[in-house]
Amino acid sequence: MSRLGLGLLGGTFDPVHRAHLQLGQAARRQLALETVFLIPAARPPLKLDCTTPAETRLRMVELATRNESGLEACGIELERKGTSYTVDTLRSLHALHHRRELWFLIGTDALRDLNTWREPDQILSLASLGVVERGLGRPPKALEEFMPPHFANQYRPTADGWAHSSGRELRIIPFEGSAISSSQIREYLRAGKSVAEWLPASVIEFIHSHQLYQEDS
């Protein structure tokens, strides 16, 4: 009997927007996951321009997922001190949800830089990968197309994707959601433009009530 799947979607979520929610739902459907956690990074190692407090970003994710079936906010990275490293988060969630299969959702651009991450081999052993590909015209013939060879060599092809030497899996998630970014949304907000197309109403209300992303913030 297969274990229930738990999807993990990390990010700064500064702010969270509809494309994040669309991606979570797409992964949930395509990987047959019970739940997808949206996990705000407390102190992201690479995105140094993130200045909105982690607690504030978590609250926006809680509001955005409130009416999204199968999506939940997860504040586990706020419970740790120091930089938010993916491998530490996976270890913590693996201990908490050892009866569930963890699926770490990652884009192809980030996967190309996997060798720069902390303990990348451990990441591949702790979780299966749901690799998000925008506008994929055909399934990749080889993992080397978006993964450093050292890691690609640890996988073998299967009917549904690839299997890692640890028993974890890798599958492609085609995604055609909005290409809007959080940084673009922040610029619109600073300029006083409408963001109703990209943000849930509850998040917009929260941003305005807390005077976030203003020109002098």
State the pairing for strand pair 101-107/5-11: parallel
- For residue 200, what is the DSSP state? -
Name the residue type at position 105: L
Q: Which CATH architecture fits 5-178?
A: 3-Layer(aba) Sandwich (3.40)
Contact criterion met (CB below 8 Å) for 178 and 19: yes
Give residue limits of the domains in the chain: 5-178
What is the C-alpha separation between 180 and 16, in angstroms, rounded? Answer: 11
3-class DSSP assignment, residue 125: helix
| Residue among 8, 14, 35 nearest 129 (CA) | 8
pLDDT values of the chain reduced to their tens digit, one per residue, 217 residues:
356 899 999 999 999 999 999 999 999 999 999 999 999 999 877 665 667 999 999 999 999 999 999 999 999 999 988 888 999 999 999 999 988 999 999 999 999 999 999 999 999 999 999 999 876 556 677 899 899 999 999 999 999 999 999 999 999 999 987 888 999 999 999 999 999 999 999 999 999 999 999 875 4
Name the residue type at position 88: D
Q: What are the helix (H) ranges across the chain?
A: 18-30, 54-65, 86-96, 108-112, 120-126, 149-152, 182-190, 201-209
Helix, strand and coil content of the chain, in percent to the nearest 5, comes to 35, 20, 45
Phi first, then psi: give them for residue 36, nearest 5 degrees.
-120, 125
Contact criterion met (CB below 8 Å) for 24 and 36: yes
